C-alpha cells in the first residue's frame, strides 16, 4: 500500500474527521513506529507502519456507516459538551460504531443532521459547505418587508464573529425555556466580528401569519447564519428546522435516526464532489 498522509489514514479508520485528525497530530497524540509525529505533511503506510492515536493502535479502515437524524431542539451537536448539556450522541441507541456529526445545528435549532465515521466524506461535505444546498423552514418574529427579503436573496453583509457570551444564569434560562439566550429577547451585548457578505439565498413565504414561516435555502454554512441574516433586516428568528441537505430529505420523527441507503450515500458523495468543482466567488478588492 502506498504511503498516505496521516490525517487521511486516521479519518479513514473512523477515529475522527480529517480536520480533527489534524488537531490530534499537531497536539502530539499520534505516533508512527514509536515516534511522536506532529507535522501535518507526514505520511505513513498502514500495512507497514505501527500507527497509534492516543496510544491505541490503528487496525485499518472501519466499515463506514451513514446516519440521518432528526435533531430535536435542546441538544448540542457535539460528541461531548463541557457544560453537561444533552448531545446528539445521547440519541444514538444501538449504534456501537463511533460516529461524528457532519457540521452543526445549534442548540435551539432542529432538523436534519448527518453523522458518519467516513472522515473523507465528512471533510468533503464541510469543504463543500459553501455549495451543497441546505434547506430550512424558519419562523420569524414579525413580517419582513419585501426589500428586506430581497437583501437576503441577493446576499447581505453580516457579522461573522461570535454573538455575546452567555452567563450561567442565561444558559440556565436557555435550558429551561428553550429560548436562545442570544436572542434580542434577552439583553446581551453583541461582539461585532468580521463583516462578511453572504451568498445569494432562496427565500419564499410558506405560511402567512403575524409571525410568518419561510423556506430558506443556503449554499454556504456560516456560524448561525440564518439568525444573523434575519437580525440584519430587523427580525428575530424564533424557530429553525433543517428539512433538506443536498439530495436528502428529513423523513424521521424528532429524536430518531435511520441509516442511509447505498444509493443515498452515492448521491451525497456526488453532491460533495460536484460542489468542490464549483468555482469560488472572487474576493472583493
For the annotated catalytic residues, the residue numbers are 106
Residue 77 contacts by C-beta under 8 Å, 6 or more apart in sequence?
A: 71, 87, 88, 101, 103, 104, 105, 106, 113
Helix axes 225-232, 146-154, angle to 10 degrees: 140
Integer Cα distance of 208 and 43 in angstroms: 57
Residue 212 contacts by C-beta under 8 Å, 6 or more apart in sequence?
A: 139, 140, 143, 205
115 alpha-carbon distance from chain centroid = 10
Integer Cα distance of 63 and 127 in angstroms: 23
Do residues 1 and 46 lie in contact, with contact meaning Cβ atoms separated by under 8 Å? yes
Picking from 223, 194, 245, the residue whose alpha carbon sits closest to that of residue 67 is: 245
Distances (CA, A) of 52 to 13, 33, 120: 11, 8, 19
Listed in sequence order, the DSSP H helices in the chain are 6-12, 18-26, 119-127, 146-154, 168-177, 225-232, 262-276
* DSSP β-ladder status, 43-44 and 213-218: unpaired
Distances (CA, A) of 196 to 161, 192, 201, 220: 10, 11, 15, 12
Integer Cα distance of 185 and 174 in angstroms: 12
Amino acid at each position: 500500500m502506498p504511503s498516505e498522509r496521516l490525517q487521511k489514514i486516521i479519518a479513514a479508520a473512523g477515529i475522527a474527521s480529517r480536520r480533527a485528525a489534524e488537531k490530534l497530530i499537531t497536539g502530539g497524540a499520534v505516533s508512527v513506529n514509536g515516534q511522536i509525529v506532529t507535522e501535518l505533511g507526514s505520511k505513513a503506510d498502514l500495512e507497514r507502519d505501527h500507527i497509534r492515536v492516543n496510544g491505541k493502535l490503528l487496525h485499518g479502515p472501519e466499515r463506514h456507516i451513514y446516519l440521518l437524524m432528526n435533531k430535536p431542539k435542546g441538544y448540542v451537536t457535539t460528541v461531548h459538551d463541557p457544560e453537561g448539556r444533552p448531545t446528539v450522541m445521547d440519541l444514538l441507541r444501538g449504534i456501537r460504531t463511533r460516529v461524528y456529526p457532519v457540521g452543526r445545528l445549534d442548540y435551539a435549532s432542529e432538523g436534519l443532521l448527518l453523522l458518519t465515521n467516513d472522515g473523507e466524506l465528512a471533510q468533503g461535505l464541510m469543504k463543500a459547505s459553501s455549495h451543497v444546498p441546505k434547506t430550512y423552514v424558519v419562523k420569524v418574529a414579525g413580517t419582513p418587508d419585501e426589500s428586506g427579503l430581497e437583501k437576503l436573496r441577493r446576499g447581505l453583509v453580516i457579522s461573522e464573529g461570535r454573538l455575546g457570551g452567555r452567563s450561567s444564569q442565561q444558559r440556565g434560562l436557555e435550558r429551561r425555556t428553550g429560548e436562545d439566550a442570544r436572542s434580542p429577547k434577552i439583553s446581551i451585548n453583541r461582539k461585532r466580528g468580521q463583516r462578511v457578505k453572504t451568498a445569494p439565498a432562496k427565500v419564499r413565504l410558506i405560511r402567512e401569519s403575524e409571525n410568518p414561516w419561510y423556506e430558506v435555502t443556503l449554499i454556504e454554512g456560516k456560524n448561525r447564519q440564518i439568525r444573523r441574516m434575519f437580525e440584519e433586516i430587523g427580525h428575530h428568528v424564533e424557530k429553525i428546522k433543517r428539512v433538506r441537505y443536498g439530495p436528502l430529505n428529513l423523513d424521521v420523527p424528532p429524536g430518531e435516526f435511520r441509516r442511509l441507503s447505498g444509493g443515498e450515500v452515492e448521491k451525497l458523495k456526488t453532491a460533495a464532489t460536484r460542489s468542490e468543482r464549483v468555482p469560488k466567488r472572487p474576493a472583493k478588492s
